[in-house]
Structure 1
């Protein structure tokens, strides 16, 4: 039996290690998960050469915490909000096979993390990442420009599921298919798998660490470049961060395996973009500056965003040192004619610059537009595998591969492999039925040419509308989106500016307001916080300036930001933040955790609270994670390699006086039970009064949501227009303002209270 040598340092540190079974167990677990040991290549120097065997993690009762999570889902339903009543499919996807053979150990000396080997798979073919690691970003860009044929970026791992499935796809399902992609799609330009909404959603709704996703996928997919979406000065958030936070984020992302940074700004505000480009470049990444596209360059009647506007902006980005230039058509507005005009003009003006085009297929013209872009000189276009393509997602990979086969644009991708890849995702997509846009959207919609809703926002906007009780009014929300965009001055619409337009649109529908009424009553309405902050200048200056007099009426005396918003922010103190996190969560805090807390303080706090209660739940398959087991169902859960739990769900107990139910399981043949609070029953036991519209001084919730902050106290004198509290629903925050001057007589809510529309927040007695 292997155990630490008695005379060794480790033996001294841990006492009589050979005789201490509690210490031996984690040591033996480390041995049993060591690749060298598993594949029989150990010798007498094995222990001395593998000192990490002595990193003895304390034994945790993960199984009991996992049962607690499963019991919680069985009693209360999914922990992530479900927009539509649909059950996840009970069919598990079949993972396409990958040949057995030699390990692949890519050159990763510059990365902080250790890349695990993948013993089950042979070395994958050389891909463009090998070119990048060998030649650096500049050489990589030259290789892309010299490449014969059309290159593809696969968005299936990120934007496709953001657009179709509300960003809800878990790392579990991405890891299953990653080795197949590594072996069969080595000639992809890149796989987009990170950034954008995935960073936030991973912690907020999927209860998993976004950094771990990046690390694990990097180990399984070592030969294809990874690409992420970086929101310029907003990094992966919805606000501006200090400059050093953006730089540090890119540095840590690069160290964890990110290669290509698509940098954009929601307003095409150049100062914000330059910061993101500088941060990505300083980290050693490939800088892909993206011009966000809206309007129609082929329509002489749409001249705010003209061809000249795009050409001038592109030249500024090239001067700033981008390695690759992207056109980011986030709503799918590029038509074939505008594609030929825009890309043809860029190719003529920038003959040596690789051009990469991103679009969505909302109207159904995506394949035609991307083929037109390729013919006009684009080097790379974005696609998603067929079963995850179309509608608000990207154009079909299979269609582009088939249409270019035998031409000068040939992609070099085998169509039959696309079919296998698509089959996996077709079944996997069924697991996410509650989030699928096809529950309500049955086809493409050409009305996108009018409302210009980005594909990545469309599903989430629909999800938000359902959560706010507007699911049956989504057609009105789309029309109001068009009107809200005009109110705000016709914006470039992509995160976070698209969220601002969406928040205003839903606010208008929720309160039955027309565009004219919003303009007329702008000085008295309680607008969503995102709208107010935009008008203050918190995300930058839009092309053409802010809309007046709307801006002045909304802001009144509120301060305005001049110039680049983040430029005036003091540097973030990462050491102080790490110390604070260690005090709150213990010493198990990594550099990556610090960056997560820097980007999303409250979300990270809630994520750590979740894991301290339930432990990591990423070992569960997706159906169990979302829906929990059925009574009498037997299943296995692999906590880690070699450690498998055999679980059977037995029964749900009756509700006790404390509002709890006992949930019974069989775990590895032994009876176990957990007590779970029944939150639905607790809500039914609690009645919250409604605000009466004809009673002056009663202030009700303008939308369903959670109370984030109370800004007044009972007995406090308040003035008309003064902020009373902040509500949050699905990332949308609204400040509830005081409707009249007076004194707060009673408050009916507290922070974290969950409210429905018109629930009474507080009462104000009017001044005499």
Structure 2
């Protein structure tokens, strides 16, 4: 009760990767704040630092009676004589706009951890003199040196800083709270955090982190190359996992270099979710397709840009400082007219009653049984919510299981005690698991409250009944998969006449969706895939008549 709960709110992107209608953003804030029973502090930011795209969210937070922390996303190096975009004057102007909008506090979000100590001190000192808002500094420790930046911000008078408990700190996370507390102990800005209390909390998180070992990034030390590519800490490990899924993890240094190249090609934009995803998608795409920056900008070179890149240049995320590179925008959009206004201004409001009816029909439920939370989740993440709801329908509330069991499954002979309701506990003991049959199914033998049971399940890892797909040979008329992934849509059928540049199909891998375009006019003679199919790079997708 005495602690504030805070969340990130991506302005008109809410908690997603696209702009939502204004009524969706407002509805989310109301539900998240829950009349003071939910989130207390909303850190509102925009992935391009476009204040106009934040106003709906800022007003919604204030109207809900919550604390609005308007946020500057730090980019560049304001003390560099070569910095001509993200200057001190640029940040002061943003802060003044936030104060005029009624924000309660001001955050400096150094998402990539590139704010050098002297720059952070200068920024904090200047903002303290220009606006009357408490200042909150947030950074990531990717370089390994951000404790120094936090201490410099503290000396300059920053009011709040973000830090992580010792076992969860460092690298792409926040700087170490224990280290910061000890560096300031006995000094004027001593936060007076008891050492023994910090140790007890750290001991708990040290144990909890071990359960997530399988998801740890292969990053063992800080990396100063972040000052070159400026990749957000929250993206660094995710992008590496995406590279692994695409089979190019061994080319990670190239991915990092291309990330920096893409940022320059796109006009040196602010990079934070979802704009950072756009840059990351393009970097992966370039490495996967062996494209150079010159290939990307060459108007005569055909490039099937990822959908997120097309969306960005169309203006779906908003307007970047300094505008879009015109020549590249023209190439990406293929003649489509870009937006010039705030995207949410032209999006029709969502009919929540219609969504309730749709979900009720989808899951065979009565409309009144569809909660407001269900509706909000579906509107923001349609596919994710449907997957979640299907999982909950089929398996119940699996969050009741111990974390190791949920992730890795129980060991043979292991006994579990699961409380499914107050005073209602299940005792489960795994006895044996059979080998997979010809269809990849296994029989699981177990005891439930002492009674023997068994269930047949499909082993998704069993290599049963897997049909090898034909691989493209490079022959004329063949269309190959540009990367491994899942087929999302197939827009053509056998016999269709298509024109060069038409979208044939789209596929997705690790949140990156890419459209495959026709590189010629022709008639489709064969289609080898359907929606939902998994394909590998160079698998044959379809063929044109000779």
Determine if the TM-score, normalized by the shorter chain, exceeds 0.5: yes
The equivalent of 1:730 in structure 2 is 510
Q: Deviations over 1:1-49 (max 9, x none)?
A: xxxxxxxxxxxxxxxxxxxxxxxxxxxxxxxxxxxxxxxxxxxxxxxxx
The equivalent of 2:412 in structure 1 is 631
The equivalent of 2:57 in structure 1 is 276
Within a 5 Å distance, the mapping from 1:233-248 to structure 2 comes to 233-248=12-27
The equivalent of 1:700 in structure 2 is 480
1:689 and 2:470 are equivalent in the alignment: yes
Aligned equivalents of 1:520 and 1:411: distance in 2?
55
Q: Deviations over 1:609-640 (max 9, x none)?
A: 11111111001111111110122222222222
Contact 2:438–2:464 (CA under 8 A) maintained in structure 1: no
Q: Identify the match of residue 676 of structure 1 among 448, 453, 457.
A: 457
Aligned equivalents of 1:339 and 1:640: distance in 2?
50
Aligned equivalents of 2:79 and 2:428: distance in 1?
61
Q: Deviations over 1:627-665 (max 9, x none)?
A: 101222222222223222211111122333443221111
Aligned equivalents of 1:278 and 1:522: distance in 2?
46
1:533 and 2:311 are equivalent in the alignment: yes
State the number of aligned residues.
541
The equivalent of 2:39 in structure 1 is 258
The structure-2 alpha-carbon separation of the partners of 1:391 and 1:568, relative to structure 1 and needing over 3 Å to count, comes to: same
Q: Identify the match of residue 463 of structure 1 among 238, 241, 253.
A: 241
Q: Identify the match of residue 497 of structure 1 among 271, 275, 283.
A: 275
Q: Deviations over 1:551-599 (max 9, x none)?
A: 1012121231121011001111111111111222213321111100110
Contact 1:401–1:413 (CA under 8 A) maintained in structure 2: yes
1:445 and 2:223 are equivalent in the alignment: yes
Aligned equivalents of 2:538 and 2:455: distance in 1?
36
Aligned equivalents of 1:364 and 1:658: distance in 2?
50
1:294 and 2:75 are equivalent in the alignment: yes
1:353 and 2:114 are equivalent in the alignment: no
Contact 2:440–2:464 (CA under 8 A) maintained in structure 1: no
- Name the SS for the 1:681 alignment partner: coil
State the 1:684 CA deviation: 5.5
The structure-2 alpha-carbon separation of the partners of 1:327 and 1:274, relative to structure 1 and needing over 3 Å to count, comes to: same
The structure-2 alpha-carbon separation of the partners of 1:329 and 1:750, relative to structure 1 and needing over 3 Å to count, comes to: same
Aligned equivalents of 2:294 and 2:61: distance in 1?
43
Aligned equivalents of 2:485 and 2:73: distance in 1?
32
The equivalent of 1:37 in structure 2 is none
State the 1:507 CA deviation: 0.2
Q: Deviations over 1:266-309 (max 9, x none)?
A: 00011111121011111111000001011111111122211111
Q: Identify the match of residue 377 of structure 2 among 588, 596, 600.
A: 596
Aligned equivalents of 2:214 and 2:386: distance in 1?
26
- Name the SS for the 1:618 alignment partner: helix
State the 1:225 CA deviation: 0.3
Aligned equivalents of 1:322 and 1:547: distance in 2?
32
Aligned equivalents of 1:323 and 1:680: distance in 2?
51
1:363 and 2:143 are equivalent in the alignment: yes
The equivalent of 1:309 in structure 2 is 90
- Name the SS for the 1:456 alignment partner: helix
Q: Deviations over 1:113-165 (max 9, x none)?
A: xxxxxxxxxxxxxxxxxxxxxxxxxxxxxxxxxxxxxxxxxxxxxxxxxxxxx
Aligned equivalents of 2:506 and 2:205: distance in 1?
40
- Name the SS for the 1:473 alignment partner: helix
1:749 and 2:513 are equivalent in the alignment: no
Within a 5 Å distance, the mapping from 1:571-650 to structure 2 comes to 571-585=349-363, 586-587=365-366, 588-650=369-431
The equivalent of 1:425 in structure 2 is 205
Aligned equivalents of 1:471 and 1:642: distance in 2?
49
State the 1:391 CA deviation: 0.8
The equivalent of 2:9 in structure 1 is 230
State the 1:730 CA deviation: 1.1
Q: Which has the higher contact order (CA 8 A, sep 6+)?
A: 1
Contact 2:438–2:465 (CA under 8 A) maintained in structure 1: no
The structure-2 alpha-carbon separation of the partners of 1:368 and 1:522, relative to structure 1 and needing over 3 Å to count, comes to: farther
Unaligned runs of 5+ in 2: none
- Name the SS for the 1:549 alignment partner: helix
Aligned equivalents of 2:171 and 2:544: distance in 1?
49
The equivalent of 1:162 in structure 2 is none
Aligned equivalents of 2:186 and 2:164: distance in 1?
21
Contact 1:247–1:283 (CA under 8 A) maintained in structure 2: no
1:336 and 2:112 are equivalent in the alignment: no
Contact 1:249–1:595 (CA under 8 A) maintained in structure 2: yes
- What is the TM-score normalised by the length of structure 2? 0.97
The structure-2 alpha-carbon separation of the partners of 1:344 and 1:453, relative to structure 1 and needing over 3 Å to count, comes to: same
- What is the TM-score normalised by the length of structure 1? 0.69
Contact 1:522–1:554 (CA under 8 A) maintained in structure 2: no
The structure-2 alpha-carbon separation of the partners of 1:301 and 1:511, relative to structure 1 and needing over 3 Å to count, comes to: same
The equivalent of 1:544 in structure 2 is 322
Aligned equivalents of 2:452 and 2:68: distance in 1?
56
The structure-2 alpha-carbon separation of the partners of 1:683 and 1:366, relative to structure 1 and needing over 3 Å to count, comes to: farther
Q: Deviations over 1:331-369 (max 9, x none)?
A: 00111110111111111112x310011100111121110
- Name the SS for the 1:728 alignment partner: strand
Aligned equivalents of 1:344 and 1:726: distance in 2?
49
Aligned equivalents of 1:448 and 1:654: distance in 2?
47
Contact 1:522–1:550 (CA under 8 A) maintained in structure 2: no
